[in-house]
Chains A and B, each alone.
Chain A
Amino acid sequence: MRSLLARREALLVLACILLLAAITARFPAFSTPKNLAGVFNDTSILIMMALGQSAVILTKSIDLSVAANVALTGMTVAMLNHVAPGLPVIVLIVVALGMGMLLGAINGFLVWWLDIPAIVVTLGTMTIFRGLAFVESGGAWVNAHEMSAAFLELPRAMFLGLPVLSWVGLLAIVLAVILFTRTGLGRAFYATGGNAVAAIYAGIDIGKTRFLAFVLSGAMAGLCGYLWVSRYAVAYVDVASGFELDTIAACVIGGVSTIGGVGTVGGVVLGALFLGIIKNALPVIGISPFWQMAISGAIIITAVVINARGERVKGRIILRRKELPL
């Protein structure tokens, strides 16, 4: 029992249940299965991008450009759809995935080949990507009536009682579990962040591993670019503004260590759900959306403090931080 409670995932499940119970006490309608499914659907995009982000953070890097990637990819596919409405949606999805991967590969390449710290690279590409979305569209919006029906329908289409968007989220979770726990690449993610020097001696190319983590994060962001734009039926330059913080927050809340090497898929998913429940509950319990930023900031700080406490128990590895920069 004690070891179960000590686990981050169990604590998070408990936190989510307490949160739901508190909300339900005042607003019973919040916890109906239908509404909870809606909350999951709302959170699917965050879950997917947080999984990509967690791969990057596991390798002791950080990807601040994911939200800008969503904006640029989303704008591109929306404009493509506007210009050529006849193009099948599957082509647009492939374009979105490919473009997201390409943008992620640019980040990964700079980190891999030139050893530039990830935070600098992605701080730069963050503004570049969003700027390109502006250049591409001239600052204009692509509205719902300019998009084709098939483009808009897909994430909403119901399949076995859940929207396709939710299914994509579930699929991403399953794939991530397999990737993180059952493949060599998944082990390499952990090894690179856990102890880079040992990883090199074990024959892992840490540069390449980081590159692949960035490609994965970019691919998730690209796919979410399409999903975001079609779900909200509008594309503009400021889409997903600040969302990179939410993905990092989901990872940190879920127990992914920001110095790399520690974290689980389950934790990330629960961290994202925790944020998703709060975000969905705020308007229900009558708190203005202006509070959202302050609350998520406070949650991030609390989660980081708790994480740091958890790491301290295991003993501190001196010099770990100086081996390789974040």
Chain B
Amino acid sequence: MSDQSAVLSPRHIPDRLDGPFKRALKSWETLLLAVAIAIAIANSLASPYFLDPWNLSDATFNFTEKAILALAMTFVIITGEIDLSVASIIALASTAMGAAAEAGAGTPVLLFIGLGVGFGCGLFNGFLVAKLGLPAIVATIGTMSLYRGIAYVVLGDQVYKNYPTDFAVFGQGYAFWIFSNEFVTFLVLAVIAGVVLHKTIFGRQVYAVGNNALAASFSGVRVRRIKFIVFLMTGVAAGLASVMLTSRLGSTRPSIAVGWELDAVTMAVLGGVGINGGTGNILGVVIAAFVMGLVTFGLGLLNVPGIVMSIFMGLMLILVIALPLVVHRINNRRRTAR
């Protein structure tokens, strides 16, 4: 334990071979892609229903909403923070939409309310973390129970399901043949997120804040503002996910989306985003979303209950982080022994 203060790159895959091609071959994303293909093959062998195009299309519903959360969560984690309140924001936004729908609001109003509640919750999280300087873990644990608590207070044991029929378009409509609106939205958002994170000054600043906030602020990055913006992003993403989920289910109950914060964090981390901030990219997160979607779909075909699936998710989260570290450690030992 002598190198405790040394910065270990959690994604370090031992690599003595150089050259762009070989490096790409050994990159985290390639590994993930291989995992995705392996799971797809295993799934198609395990169940004859897997390769049915309509089934596969339906399978995208499993993960698109969570993946949209994960895209925004990627930004938050890269800045070195975490947002555990996203699932509760979904519940609160869904409750607000449900109440508005009971009052006879139309689809555009509902969309506005869903996104607005997400924006408001993100604003509050951003205020706590960026303005008051609270640790994000505790602040968002607090807002996590606050937001869902409000949903419970409003809903009690009721269920809202008086949604107008055309509201179903977000979660149940199809944009191109068998590609659902949700799936297309996710792909578009993924491209936008990729461009923003990798091609804009804002994206560079997000990395800078996560790598060394002090150095970033000395070089003119407005650290607090960046943090504020990324929390706004998760809020709006949760609002959007809430619109889709509510529209897909056609109902709201306070226990909606319980535990999704774990799935979003897992997706981001599985996609190669370092939990300590400063590293990661969108492509990895998108592939990770597909991997998790395939795993859930495959397990679902094998009739594995949801809570048992969560064991796989938990194991995956830990293994994904642990494996490269173990390999790194063993390699280090071998090097020092020589």
Contacts and interface: CB of A to CB of B under 8 A. Distances in A.
Interface of A: 62, 110, 114-117, 119-121, 123-128, 130-132, 134-135, 139, 196-197, 200, 205-208, 237, 242, 245, 248-249, 252, 258-259, 288, 290-298, 300-301, 304-305, 308, 318-319, 322-326
B138 A248 contact: yes
A66 B313 CA distance: 18
B314 A127 contact: yes
Interface string B1-24: 100110010000000000000000
B137 A120 contact: no
A294 to B, nearest CB: 3
B199 to A, nearest CB: 27
Given A124-B317, A290-B153, A305 B134 contact: yes
9 contacts: A114-B325, A121-B318, A131-B310, A245-B145, A297-B142, A297-B143, A304-B135, A308-B132, A322-B214
Contact of B314 (A119, A126, A318): A126
Nearest to B309: A131
Most buried by A among B4, B5, B82, B325: B4
Nearest to A257: B135
Contacts, number: 161
Most buried by B among A62, A117, A252, A259: A117
Interface string B100-134: 00000000000000000000000000001000111
Contacts of B311: 127-128, 131-132, 135
B314 A125 contact: yes
Contacts of B300: none
Contacts of B203: none
A124 B315 contact: yes
B137 A326 contact: yes
Contacts of A206: 1, 4
A120 B314 contact: no
A208 to B, nearest CB: 8
Nearest to B3: A115
Contact of A110 (B138, B144, B322, B329): B322
A131 B265 CA distance: 18
Contacts of A126: 262, 314
Contacts of A326: 135, 137
Interface of B: 1, 4-5, 8, 82, 128, 132-135, 137-139, 141-150, 152-153, 155-156, 212-214, 259, 262, 265-266, 269, 275-276, 305, 307-308, 310-311, 313-315, 317-318, 321-322, 325-326, 329
A189 B263 CA distance: 31
Contacts of B149: 290-298
A120 B325 CA distance: 14
Nearest to A118: B137
**Majority secondary structure, A binding face:** helix
A261 B132 CA distance: 21
Given A131-B311, A237-B307, A301-B128, A294 B153 contact: yes
B94 to A, nearest CB: 16
Contact of B4 (A62, A207, A295): A207
Contacts of B8: 115
A134 B304 CA distance: 12
B325 A300 contact: no
A304 B138 contact: yes
B231 to A, nearest CB: 14
Nearest to A287: B153
A207 to B, nearest CB: 5
B74 to A, nearest CB: 15
B276 A304 contact: no
Nearest to A116: B321
A127 B138 contact: no
Contacts of A293: 145-146, 148-149, 152
Closest 6 CB pairs of A and B: A294-B149, A297-B146, A293-B149, A131-B311, A297-B145, A300-B142
Most buried by A among B128, B133, B307: B307
A323 B4 CA distance: 10
B150 A294 contact: yes
Contacts of B141: 245, 248, 300
A197 B6 CA distance: 11
